[in-house]
Structure 1
Amino acid sequence: MVIFMLVWQGLEEFFQVVEQGSFTKAAKELDVSTSHISRQLTQLESRLGTRLINRTTRKISLTDAGHQYIISLKNIRQALSDATDHLQGTQQAPQGLIRITGAGDFVSKQVAPVLAQFMKRYPQVSIEMNFSARNVNLIEEGVDLAIRFGRMQDSNLIARPLCARHMSLVATPTYLNDHGIPTTPEDLIKYNCLVAITNRWRFNIDGKIKEIKVQGNWRSNNPDAIKQACMTDLGIAYLAKDLVQPQVDSGQLVYLLDDYQVNDNANWLVYPKKDLIPHRVRLLIDFLLVHFSEN
């Protein structure tokens, strides 16, 4: 017990200095003196045999060792919280915060309504939805779930497919009348291509997957912005088929090079590998998987 207390000594002070950004604010948060914070950190660094924080008169900054240590400590603290949540959650109605990140039309129009249904069933659960196109580090930033699109490669995460999402090339009849119709993927280098996630578009050519590097004068990480630019006759877009199907049906857009399309993309539900997942998060994972498997 004494050894455990000694190991834990100074960690809360270290947490608060990092989170608050200064010794003074950390002392105020913990209701102790600044000298107490400084003394605890000095003793912690002495026990570890390494400096964790660079101290200057104006600001503090983490050393490389300090950065790695705070990540590990956050994981430990999260694991303790998860263990408590899991035990309590299996014995009572789920409650607490679930943090989710994702972006795009699929998340806002198809995932968000399902989250609302989940909260109606479990009213003591809170959801924080961050619509960010940034590839958030789930573990470092304490995010429970992410909705991502494409092909998953990160072995530190669990990825469960929600639904397949086929890609398509589209352009307006006016743009094609003015510039001609591409007959092979290689022809795309001659056209103004509207770039969303990447300018390397994948095609099935002679049974092999090949990337074509395209270029154009319009780029956005928002698929709807790409679609709107395409509909104003600006160029050729590479978008999810469900996003442009209404405009194709109405004749505003035309599919191109369908025979070359690669259909191995999907929308994924992604979350960190953990021995214990909070009960409320596990319930939401199952809720989403069942919903999309049935629809």
Structure 2
Amino acid sequence: MQWDGISEFVYVAENESFTQASKKMAISTAHVSRQISALEKRLNIKLFYRTTRKVSLTEEGRVFYQHCRAVLDGLDEAERAITNLQSKPQGKIKLTAPVTYGEQQILPLVNNFMQQYSAIEVTAFLSNQQMDLVEGGYDLAIRLGKLSDSSMMARKLGKRTNYVCASPSYLHKHGIPHSLSELNSHNCLLGTRDYWHFTEQGKEKNIRVTGKLRYNNGFGLVDAALKGLGIVQLPDYYVQHHLQSGELITLLDNYREPDEGIWAIYPENRHLSPKIRLLVDYLAEQLA
């Protein structure tokens, strides 16, 4: 459908004057006249009776006016709806995050966020696989560590620290390692990788570690460390509480790798709507 001339037609019909219509639209009378003439030619009907003193609708013009008025009213309503969405955030947000970090950090914060913005609906899918945001229809993803996908926009929300730690009972029995090489003589509690990350003299260093226990679950590794079974390297959200209580003790702090970023990412070609921007701002404030 071509929209040219529709607004001019409605203004002329309601004001019964080309001159008054042009004044209210802040355009020239000649422009209004040209648009109406082009519209009549396109529709192949006469919309107005024109005299030197008055402009009035033809029968066809009255029918056309009723439909055009409804269309313009609908456009006005659509514009108001968008304005309301921007002034009062509402609608749906679909996000994804890693399982453990999502459970412990992101979902509780999302719940707090929704207490403030009850008109927003959130669907969260937790997975340790990096989901395809575009294919999955995700508005937002939370990623940890180094980012590899340059096609996405990213905002840093906070940081995480990886700690090497053990229980006092283990250290009392097996001693405290003071260098990276001493890890060879300790039982290291392994996750999904055989290497632990450190920094030595300003350079990244990966150290191969061995041990009698391997889990693909961080909570299982924490429990093993608490029970004195060995030394573990895990992010702060697994061990922070136990470090504060003294149940675990940090080791090799001088070799600790730099903190890793916590990121909110979203597709580069997707407009960051007010509701999503509001959530990202809230997460950044809470995780900073």
- The CA distance in 1 between the partners of 2:263 and 2:118, in whole Å, is 25
Q: 1:141 aligns with which of 124, 127, 136?
A: 136
- The CA distance in 1 between the partners of 2:187 and 2:177, in whole Å, is 12
Q: 1:267 aligns with which of 262, 273, 279?
A: 262
What's the CA shift string for 1:60-110, capped at 9, x where partnerless?
A: xxxxxxxxxxxxxxxxxxxxxxxxx99955443433321222235543233
TM-score normalised per structure 2: 0.63
Query: What residue is the counterpart of 1:165 in the other structure?
Result: 160
Give runs of aligned pairs for residues 52-131 of structure 1, distance below 5 A.
89-92=82-85, 93-131=88-126
Q: 2:282 aligns with which of 273, 284, 287?
A: 287
Q: 1:179 aligns with which of 170, 174, 179?
A: 174
Q: Does 1:246 align with 2:241?
A: yes
TM-score normalised per structure 1: 0.62
What's the CA shift string for 1:43-76, capped at 9, x where partnerless?
A: xxxxxxxxxxxxxxxxxxxxxxxxxxxxxxxxxx
What's the CA shift string for 1:14-55, capped at 9, x where partnerless?
A: xxxxxxxxxxxxxxxxxxxxxxxxxxxxxxxxxxxxxxxxxx
2:249 counterpart letter in structure 1: V
- The CA distance in 2 between the partners of 1:223 and 1:86, in whole Å, is 49
Q: Secondary structure at the match of 2:220?
A: helix
- The CA distance in 2 between the partners of 1:86 and 1:158, in whole Å, is 28
Whether the 8 Å CA contact 1:133–1:221 is kept in 2: the answer is: no
Return the offset for 1:142: 1.8
Query: What residue is the counterpart of 1:68 in the other structure?
Result: none
Change (3 A) 1:282 1:259: same
Range 102-111 or range 281-290, more displaced: 102-111
Structure exhibiting the larger radius of gyration computed from Cα positions: 2
2:152 counterpart letter in structure 1: L
Return the offset for 1:236: 1.1
Change (3 A) 1:96 1:150: same
Unaligned 5+ runs, structure 1: 2-84
Return the offset for 1:197: 5.5
Unaligned 5+ runs, structure 2: 2-77
Return the offset for 1:115: 1.1
Task: Supply the RMSD in Å over aligned alpha carbons.
Answer: 2.8
Change (3 A) 1:219 1:273: farther
1:143 counterpart letter in structure 2: Y
- The CA distance in 1 between the partners of 2:81 and 2:206, in whole Å, is 50
Return the offset for 1:215: 3.0
1:243 counterpart letter in structure 2: Y
Whether the 8 Å CA contact 1:89–1:279 is kept in 2: the answer is: no
Return the offset for 1:112: 2.0
What's the CA shift string for 1:233-292, capped at 9, x where partnerless?
A: 222111223532332343322211011101231222222212423442233222322333
- The CA distance in 2 between the partners of 1:95 and 1:230, in whole Å, is 45
Change (3 A) 1:268 1:196: farther
- The CA distance in 1 between the partners of 2:141 and 2:177, in whole Å, is 36
Q: Secondary structure at the match of 2:269?
A: coil
Figure out how many residues of one structure are paired with residues of the other and give that number. Answer: 210
Q: 2:150 aligns with which of 155, 162, 165?
A: 155
- The CA distance in 2 between the partners of 1:86 and 1:151, in whole Å, is 41
Q: Secondary structure at the match of 2:136?
A: coil
- The CA distance in 2 between the partners of 1:229 and 1:112, in whole Å, is 26
- The CA distance in 2 between the partners of 1:196 and 1:88, in whole Å, is 50
1:129 counterpart letter in structure 2: A
Tell me the percent identity.
35
Q: Secondary structure at the match of 1:203?
A: strand
Return the offset for 1:155: 0.8
- The CA distance in 2 between the partners of 1:90 and 1:224, in whole Å, is 46
Change (3 A) 1:261 1:132: same
Whether the 8 Å CA contact 1:86–1:278 is kept in 2: the answer is: no
Query: What residue is the counterpart of 2:199 in the other structure?
Result: 204
